[in-house]
Structure 1
Amino acid sequence: MLRSQYRKELKLINVSKKSGAGRGEVYVPKLWCFNELRFLDDGETQRECTSTMDPLEEMSKKLTYNKSFLNFGFSFIVNNGMQMPQCVICKKTLANESMKPFKLNEHLTNVHPELANKDLAYFKIKDHQLKWSRLDHGTGVLFQPSSIFKAPYRISLLIAKQKMPHTIGEKLVKPCMVEAARLFLDQNCDNKLNQISLSDNTVKQRIDDMLQDIKSQVIEKIKLSPFFAIQLDETTDVAHLPQLLVYARFISENQVEEEFFFCSPLITTTNAEDIMNIVSNFFEEEKLLWAKLVGVCMYGAPSMLSSKSGFMTLVKTKNPDIIITHCLIHREALASKTLPASFKDTLKIVIRIVNHIKGGALNTRLFCRFCQNMDSAHQNLLFCTSVCWLSKGNVLARVFELFDELQIFLAGQGKKTEQLLNDIQGPFKCSLAHLADVFEALNGLNQQLQGPDTTIMMHTDAIKAFLDKLALWKRKVERGNVASFQCMNEVIREKRLVEELQQEIKEHLIILQEEFEQYFLELINNTAAKEEFQEQQQFNSSNCCVKMFSAFPKTSKFALKVLIPFSSTYLCESGFLTLLVIKSKARNRLNAEADM
Structure 2
Amino acid sequence: MCSVMLGEAAAAKLDAIPISDNTIQRRISDMACDVKEQVLDCVRESPFHAIQLDESTDVAHCAQLMVYVRFIKEHSVQEDFLFCVSLPARTTADELFKALNNFYQANCLDWGRCCGICTDGARAMTGRHSGLVKQVQAVAPAAVWKHCIIHRQALATKRMPQELRAVLDEAVKIVNLIKSRALNARLFSILCNEMGAQFQQLLLHSEVRWLSRGKVLTRLCVLREEVLLFLTEINSPLAKHLADMNWLAMLAYLSDIFDRINSLNTSLQGKECHVFSAHDQVSGFRKKLDLWCARVERGSVEMFPTLEDVAEKTGLPLNSVQTVITAHLNGLRDQFGEYFGEDALGNQWVRNPFSFPATPRDGLSLQEEEALVELSSNMDLKQRLGEMPITCFWFSVESEFPQISTKATKVLIPFTSTYLCECGFSALTMIKNKYRSRLQVEDDLRLFLSGVQPRIEHLCASKARPHCSH
Shared fold (TM-score, shorter chain, > 0.5): yes
Cα distance change, pair 465–199 in 1 and its aligned pair in 2 (3 A): farther
* Mapped partners of 2:329, 2:97: distance in 1: 40
| Aligned length, in residue pairs | 407
One-letter code of the match for 2:247?
F
CA distance in 1, matches of 2:285, 2:169: 26
> Which residue matches 1:499?
319
**Once the two structures are superposed, what CA deviation does each residue of 1:217-265 show, in whole Å capped at 9, x if it has no partner?**
1111111111000000011111110010000000011111111101110
Cα distance in 2 for partners of 1:470, 1:385 equals 26
Paired with 1:296 and 1:199, the residues of 2 have a C-alpha distance of: 42
Report matched runs for 1:69-148 at 5 Å: none
Instruction: Summarize the Cα distance change of 1:534–1:200 in structure 2 as closer, same or farther, 3 Å threshold.
Output: farther
Q: TM-score, normalised by structure 2?
A: 0.82
AA aligned opposite 1:339: M
Q: Per-residue deviation at 1:534?
A: 5.3
Cα 1:312–1:332 change in 2 (3 A) is: same
Question: Shift in Å at residue 196 of structure 1?
Answer: 12
Distance in 2 (CA, whole Å) between partners of 1:238 and 1:228 is 32
1:50-88 per-position Cα deviation (integer Å, ceiling 9, x unaligned): xxxxxxxxxxxxxxxxxxxxxxxxxxxxxxxxxxxxxxx
TM superposition shift of 1:559 = 1.4
- Tell me the percent identity: 39
Structure 1 residues 104-163: Cα deviation after superposition (integer angstroms, max 9, x where no partner): xxxxxxxxxxxxxxxxxxxxxxxxxxxxxxxxxxxxxxxxxxxxxxxxxxxxxxxxxxxx
Is 1:366–2:215 an aligned residue pair? no
Mapping of residues 59-74 of structure 1, within 5 Å:
none
Instruction: Tell me what 2:440 maps to.
Output: 591
1:395 maps to 2:216: yes
Deviates more, 1:210-219 or 1:291-300: 210-219
Task: Give 1:493 shift.
Answer: 3.0
Q: How much does 1:523 deviate?
A: 3.0
1:322 aligns with 2:171: no
Paired amino acid for 2:337: E
Out of 26, 38, 60, the residue aligned to residue 239 of structure 1 is 60
Partner residue, 2:376: none
The alpha carbon displacement at 1:423 in A equals 6.1
Flag the 1:375–1:591 CA change in 2: closer, same or farther, 3 A: same
Q: Structure 1 residues 564, 195: closer, same or farther in 2, change over 3 A?
A: farther
Give the partner amino acid of 1:465.
G
Which of 409, 415, 421 does residue 560 from structure 1 map onto? 409
CA distance in 2 between partners of 1:352 and 1:315 (Å) = 44
Q: Which residue of 2 aligns with 1:548?
A: 397
Judging changes above 3 Å, is the alpha-carbon distance between structure 1 residues 484 and 198 closer, same or farther for their aligned structure 2 residues?
A: farther
CA contact (8 A) 2:397 2:405 kept: yes
SS across alignment from 2:81: strand
Residue 451 of structure 1 aligns to a residue whose secondary structure is coil
Q: Tell me what 2:343 maps to.
A: 523
**Would the aligned equivalents of 1:247 and 1:261 in 2 still touch at CA under 8 Å?**
yes
SS in 1 for 2:80: strand
Say whether 1:404 aligns with 2:253. no
State the one-letter code of the partner of 2:348.
A
CA distance in 2, matches of 1:558, 1:308: 28
1:468 shift after superposition: 1.1
SS of 1:493's equivalent?
A: helix
Q: Is the CA contact (8 Å cut-off) linking 1:384 and 1:395 kept in structure 2?
A: yes
* Separation (CA, whole Å) in 2 of partners of 1:197 and 1:569: 42
Distance 1:534 1:508, change over 3 A: farther
Aligned to 2:452: none
Q: 1 or 2 for the larger relative contact order (CA 8 Å, sep ≥6)?
A: 2
Q: Is the 8 A contact 1:457 1:530 kept in 2?
A: no
Deviations 1:157-204 (A, max 9, x none): xxxxxxxxxxxxxxxxxxxxxxxxx9xxxx9xx99x969996441111
The question of 1:301 aligning with 2:122 is answered: yes
Residues 1:257 and 1:419: Cα distance change in structure 2 (over 3 Å): closer
Instruction: After TM superposition, list the pairs within 5 Å mapping 1:48-67 onto structure 2.
Output: none
- Between the aligned partners of 1:538 and 1:568, the Cα distance in structure 2 is 27
Structure 1: how far apart are the matches of 2:164 and 2:350? 37
Partner of 2:331: 511
Q: For residues 213 and 488 of structure 1, do their structure 2 counterparts lie closer, same or farther at Cα, with a shift above 3 Å needed?
A: same
* Compared CA separation, residues 555 and 493, structure 1 to 2 (3 A): farther
| Residues 565 and 422 of structure 1, relative CA distance in 2, 3 Å threshold | closer
Aligned with 1:427: secondary structure?
Answer: helix
Q: CA deviation at 1:550?
A: 2.3
Residue 272 of structure 2: aligned partner: 453
Q: Is the Cα contact below 8 Å between 1:392 and 1:439 reproduced in 2? A: yes
The answer to whether the aligner puts 1:211 opposite 2:32 as a matched pair is yes
Q: Distance in 2 between matches of 1:467 and 1:537?
A: 27
Alpha-carbon distance change, 361 to 279 in structure 1, aligned in 2, over 3 angstroms: same
Amino acid corresponding to residue 301 of structure 2 in structure 1: V
Return the alpha-carbon distance in structure 2 between the equivalents of residues 356 and 439 of structure 1.
22
Q: Is 2:428 aligned against 1:579? A: yes
Secondary structure at the residue paired with 2:77? strand
Deviates further, 335-344 or 315-324:
315-324
Amino acid of the structure 1 residue aligned with 2:132: F
420-429 or 458-467, which deviates more: 420-429
Is the CA contact (8 Å cut-off) linking 1:246 and 1:263 kept in structure 2? Answer: yes
Q: Residue 231 of structure 2 contacts residue 238 of structure 2 at CA under 8 Å; is this kept in 1?
A: no
SS of residue matched to 2:115: strand
Contact kept? 1:393, 1:439, Cα under 8 Å: yes
* Aligned pairs for 1:187-198 within 5 A: none
Please state whether the residue corresponding to 1:210 is helix, strand or coil.
helix
Q: Which residue of 1 aligns with 2:288?
A: 469
Q: Give the match for residue 453 of structure 2.
A: none
Contact 2:44 2:109 in 1 (8 A): yes
Instruction: Provide the aligned C-alpha RMSD in A.
Output: 2.3
Q: Does 1:272 align with 2:93?
A: yes
Q: Which amino acid aligns with 2:271?
A: P
Post-superposition shift, 1:317?
0.9
Match of 1:382 among 187, 203, 206: 203
Name the amino acid aligned to 1:518. E
Inter-partner Cα distance in structure 1 for 2:157 and 2:191:
34
**Structure 1: 5+ residue runs without aligned partners?**
1-181
**Cα distance change of structure 1 residues 257 and 422 upon mapping to structure 2, 3 Å threshold:** closer
CA gap of 1:497–1:477, structure 2 versus 1, over 3 A, is: farther
Alpha-carbon distance in 2 for matches of 1:375, 1:480: 34
Q: Residue 259 of structure 1 aligns to a residue in which SS?
A: strand
Q: Equivalent residue of 1:356, what SS? A: helix
Q: Deviations over 1:332-379 (max 9, x none)?
A: 111111111111011011011011111211111110110000010011
| Distance of 1:282 and 1:412 partners within structure 2 | 61
CA 1:358–1:476 in structure 2 vs 1: closer, same or farther (change >3 Å)? same
8 Å contact 1:533–1:539 — kept in the other structure?
A: no
* CA apart distance, 1:503: 1.4
Q: Describe the SS at the equivalent of 1:307.
A: coil
1:450 counterpart letter in structure 2: Q
2:173 matched residue in structure 1: 352
Match of 1:444 among 241, 247, 263: 263
Q: For the pair shown, which has the larger CA radius of gyration, 1 or 2?
A: 1
Letter in 2 for 1:458: S
Greater mean alpha carbon deviation, residues 491-500 or residues 393-402: 491-500
Would the alpha carbon gap of residues 456 and 534 (structure 1) be closer, same or farther in structure 2, given more than 3 Å must change? farther
